[in-house]
Amino acid sequence: MADFDKRTHRLSLADLRENYGLARLTEQNCQASPIVQFENWIKDAERAGLQLPNAMVLSTATTCGQPSARVVLLKDVSDLGFVFYTNYTSRKALELESNPFASLTFYWPELERQVRVEGRVQRTARQLSEAYFRSRPKGSRLGAWASRQSQPLPGREPLDARLKELERIYADTDDIPVPEFWGGYCLMPGVIEFWQGRPNRLHDRLQYRRNSEQNWIVERLSP
């Protein structure tokens, strides 16, 4: 149980701990391709009924090296990379435009698994962003137009008013243009690490790295 001290507002979480032991990850049972390995694990997370197994922490950094992180949703994965969508004028996008190196972190506590992905991002092809935008519910598409993501707002009202106005303009049509300030990024991985919790903090960690011939090399890391 977390221990709260009312006087100092200190919350001690030192006694919150878990002992892991659901599964093993070995050099023998892992896939040669980290993308196939990732797809197997995200399918396991989906089968286990986890809420938003595709939620991932996207970490970016300024050119000075100041990091920032937030959750976004993975929308596509293949040998080309990991795709997510966002506003191209948001804080994350501005950081990615000046420093394209980023990382993704997935955590599936019920499966005692974490995956870390590191690499470079580039914008997805415009047709891909447009096709995905058109597949979104109307409310989300209007929401993309209504929000100047990451900009300060004087209150909730201007946002609700913008949405209301957009709902009025597009009341009779489903044909909503794709904002030019909205689209996808693809993170092309250079390193992918799979972490499986094990007893006594001696977890399994397998890290895949691309070598100079672009082949994936697997290495076990100390927990």
Ligand X SMILES: Cc1cc2nc3c(=O)[nH]c(=O)nc-3n(C[C@H](O)[C@H](O)[C@H](O)COP(=O)(O)O)c2cc1C
Residues belonging to the active site = 201
Tell me how crowded residue 15 is: count the other CB atoms within 10 A of its CB. Answer: 8
Closer residue to ligand X in complex, CB, 150/207? 150
d(C-alpha 32, C-alpha 215), whole Å: 10
Give the nearer residue to ligand X in terms of CB position, either 51 or 173: 51
User: Total residues contacting ligand X (rule CB under 6 A)?
Assistant: 16
Taking the C-alpha atoms of residue 63 and residue 214, their distance in angstroms, rounded to an integer, is 27
Among 31, 89, 99, 149, binds ligand X (CB under 6 A): 149
59 touches ligand X by CB under 6 A: no
* Interface with ligand X, residue 141, by CB under 6 A: no
Three-class SS state of 20: coil
Confirm if 186 and 82 have CB atoms less than 8 A apart. Answer: yes
Residue 92 sits in the site that holds ligand X (CB under 6 A): yes
Of the candidate residues 101, 150, 162, 163, the single one contacting ligand X (CB under 6 A): 150
Q: Positive or negative CA dihedral for 22, 115, 208, 19?
A: negative
Nearer to ligand X by Cβ, of 59 and 196: the residue is: 59
Name which position in 90, 114, 124, 196 contacts ligand X (CB under 6 A).
90
Query: Which residue bears the tokens 């040669």?
Result: 32
Contact status: 72 vs ligand X (CB under 6 A)? yes
Residue closer to ligand X by CB (options 72, 176) is: 72
Cβ burial, residue 74 (10 Å; 0-12/13-18/19+) = buried
Residue 185 sits at φ, ψ, to 5 deg, of: -125, 145
Give the interface with ligand X as residue ranges (CB under 6 A).
52, 55, 68, 70-73, 84-87, 90-92, 149-150
